[in-house]
């Protein structure tokens, strides 16, 4: 498969491949592989149904009742920045 690139993109691909000591073809395959995995993950996340989303939230909140309440003093500027002036 041959993909036509603009001269600017081709120059950047050649430079990036040379910096890594690989061919342009190897660099393009690596680059597409990374972005393809990200694309597939994003597609899966976007396809989540409302029921799946609610189940995910329920799973996250499953043990939230065991998290202790913090006192108001925990949220003062002094308690947050006690190691700063």
Q: SS3 of 18, please?
A: helix
CA 33 to chain centre: 15
* pLDDT at 37 (0 to 100): 84
Residue 40 lies inside a defined structural domain of this protein: yes
61: domain range?
7-80
**Total structural domains within the chain:** 1
Query: Does residue 58 fall inside a structural domain?
Result: yes
The string of DSSP codes covering 34-62 is HHHHHHHHHHHHHT--HHHHHHHHHHHHT
Structural domain contains residue 49: yes
Q: Which of 66-70, 75-79, 81-85 has the lowest mean pLDDT?
A: 81-85
Q: Is residue 67 assigned to a domain?
A: yes
Question: Which pLDDT band, with edges at 50, 70 and 90, does 49 fall under?
Answer: confident
Dist CA 63 CA 69 (whole Å): 13
Q: Is residue 62 part of a domain?
A: yes
Q: What radius of gyration do the chain's Cα atoms show?
A: 24
Give the pLDDT confidence of 10-36 residue by residue, as tens digits. Answer: 999 999 999 999 999 999 999 998 888
- Would you state the structure tokens that stand for residue 76, as one six-digit string? 């003062």
Quote the pTM value. Answer: 0.48
User: Is 37 part of a structural domain of the chain?
Assistant: yes
């Amino acid at each position: 498969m041959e993909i036509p690139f603009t001269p600017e993109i081709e120059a950047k691909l050649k430079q990036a491949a040379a910096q890594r000591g690989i061919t342009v073809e190897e660099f393009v395959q690596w680059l597409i592989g990374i972005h393809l995995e990200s694309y597939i993950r994003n597609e899966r996340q976007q396809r989540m149904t409302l029921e799946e989303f609610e189940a995910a939230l329920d799973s996250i909140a499953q043990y939230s009742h065991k998290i202790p309440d913090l006192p108001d003093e925990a949220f003062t500027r002094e308690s947050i920045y006690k190691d700063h002036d």
